[in-house]
Amino acid sequence: MNAYFLLQYKLANRKLIELGINPLVGYVLGIAGFILISEYLYLKTEFAKYAVILVALTFLAKTSEINRNAFLLMVFGNKKSRVIRIIENLILCLPFSILLIYHTEFWESILLIVVSVLLASFSFNTNFNFTLPTPFYKRPFEFAVGFRNTFYIFPFAYLLTIIAISVNNLNLGIFALLLVFVVTFTFYLKPENEYYVWSFSTSSGRFLLGKLVTAARYSAFLALPPAIALCVFYPSEIATILMFLFLGFTFLWTIILAKYSAYPNEINLPEGILIAVCIYFPPLLLFLMPYFYIKSIRKLNAILK
Amino acid sequence: MILVKQLYKNYGSNEVLKNISLEFMKGKVYGIVGENGAGKTTLFRCIAGLEDYKGEITSELKPLKNHLGLLLTEPFFFSKITGEEYIQLLCNARNRKVDSIKEKNIFDLPLNQYASTYSTGMKKKLAITAILLQENDYFILDEPFNGVDIQSNIILAELIHKLKQLNKIVLVSSHIFSTLSETCDEIHLIKKGEEVKTVPKAEFGNLEQEMKAVNIGNKIERLGLK
């Protein structure tokens, strides 16, 4: 059993090293990020505890995946695999429970611990076989796959836009618009299997252009409804809304270029830092995009020849 | 024509392919045979341009990869892409417009379902359908018969005959000798990264007997089964 947890620890370290982060630094950054985000959440909303419980349950549900638990059962047998699952779930819910206790939400914390122990007895399929139709079938795969993984965020973003308009809060509306873009950014974070690049009978430049055009068309499909609604209700702020819309597209293109500049590896820390700097000073994108483009062409030429 | 000349491939100090020279002509089906780890898949990956190598690989149609339908031993699928979207993606990649994917679904696959939920055989059939609809001139089929049901294997063998009729070049690897003897014009035997023999169709029977003698030997007796 110790060997299992040691292996999980090693796997986590390997993942961080692959991302170009020293494991120790990664853990410190993770804890700091967790504290900062949760404090920000508690500062902003009185419903923070529900969000904390929801996030914790989402993580816990992942450990109940049926194939994973069938494997544990096969390797460790009934009793040991049960103990492993309880310990795993307790480790996962620990930071959330501490957070709830810190905010004097004792009952919620106890409830979370009890649920995490109970969930260790259940296995279920976290991947539902229901095929969610998408309007992105003509140009698979990023938006078709990404939309299916994150579809529930879009109605939430559109609802936020409606609330923003009804309470006359443009900032909230802009936040909803940017939320749509941030979700589409995640569609491009993981590099695809090389077969899906190799298959293209096109030059690296045309391949990239195709990716950028598809991303612009499909992200417009998702981002234009809130953008148009905001423009209609805040005609005096059209320039600001269009600027954020333009920034959304530009960052999306930058992330696509960053992805292929690191291909076949994942976008790692240097690229991430460069993009983060641009969030504070967007004009830097003018230099960053050509830089990523040239690097992408070099990487893609090795496959597309 | 595809010409492989003095091909070498190393992974670090491990020499996987050694001095392979082969010639593949239009309208012919070639079998590539060898034990696990003999270098068949590496040879295919080199021809496809997915690996760097020493030596020369040339083809009539250039670049070779843009005219090649590659079926990998274990095709990769995204977690939430449907069968139809997979075919669409691969056809888009070759700028091929497919009017009715459903009509061309000869293996009766549930194209509206996520490909990741398909069985091993269904995944293989989907990947084969996609590379066929790409209208390639060259085909590399790495273990196409593995995991596929008997009915579909019959269709697959007929498809390979059809590709031959259409003057395509087809390279097939398989661990089931009968599938190769039925479809191939020539078999290349690879051992530890080297081509040890080229066998024409007329001598397939001898090759099978020879392989049985070499590989089985007295191994079964050694087990001492009771």
Domain boundary assignment for chain A:
2-119, 142-304
**CB-based contact, A141 to chain B, within 8 Å:** yes
A22 Cβ under 8 Å from any chain B Cβ:
no
* Inter-chain residue contact A196 with B72, CB threshold 8 Å: no
Choose among A137, A145, A201: nearest Cβ to B95: A201
Chain B residues within 8 angstroms (CB to CB) of chain A? 48-50, 63, 65-67, 70, 72, 75-76, 78-82, 84-86, 88-90, 92-95, 112-114, 116-117
Chain A: give the shortest CA distance to residue B155, in Å: 25
pLDDT at B224: 86
Q: Which residues of A touch B84 (CB under 8 A)?
A: 137
Contacting residues for B7 by C-beta, under 8 A, at least 6 apart: B17, B19, B20, B21, B43, B46, B53, B54, B55, B56, B57
Q: Residue B15 pairs with which residues in a beta bridge?
A: B10
Residue B57, strand partner residues: B4
Closest-CA residue in chain B for A207? Answer: B93
Quick: pLDDT tens for A110-147.
999 999 999 988 887 665 568 899 999 889 899 999 99
The pTM is what?
0.80
Of B144, B195, B129, residue with least CA distance to B29: B144
Q: Which has the higher per-residue pLDDT, B133 or A20?
A: B133
HSE-CB at A44 with a 13 A cutoff on CA atoms is: 8
Q: Best residue in B46, B52, B58, B65 to probe A by mutation, most A CBs within 10 Å? A: B65
Enumerate the domain spans of chain B. 2-223
Q: Is the pLDDT of residue B189 over 90?
A: yes
**What are the chain B neighbours of A199 within 8 Å (beta carbons)?**
90, 93-94
Sheet holding B169-173, edge to edge: B68-71, B138-142, B169-173, B28-33, B186-191, B194-200
Residue pLDDT, tens place only, A230-257:
999 999 999 999 999 999 999 999 999 9
Using a CB-CB distance cutoff of 8 angstroms, which residues of chain B are in contact with residue A196?
76, 89, 93
| Token output for A225 | 């409804």
Asked if A129's CB is within 8 angstroms of B65's CB, the reply is: no
Say if CB B169 and CB B26 are below 8 A apart. yes
Q: Do A140 and B88 touch (CB under 8 A)?
A: yes
A132 to chain B: closest CA residue: B80
Architecture of domain B2-223: 3-Layer(aba) Sandwich (3.40)
- On whether any CB of chain B is under 8 Å from the CB of A199, the answer is yes
pLDDT attached to residue A97: 94
pLDDT band at A26 (very low <50, low <70, confident <90, very high): very high
Q: What is the pLDDT of residues A148-184, one digit of tens each?
A: 989 988 998 999 899 999 999 999 899 999 999 999 9
Distances in Å between the alpha carbon of A108 and those of A49, A52, A87, A102, A117?
Answer: 8, 10, 20, 12, 14
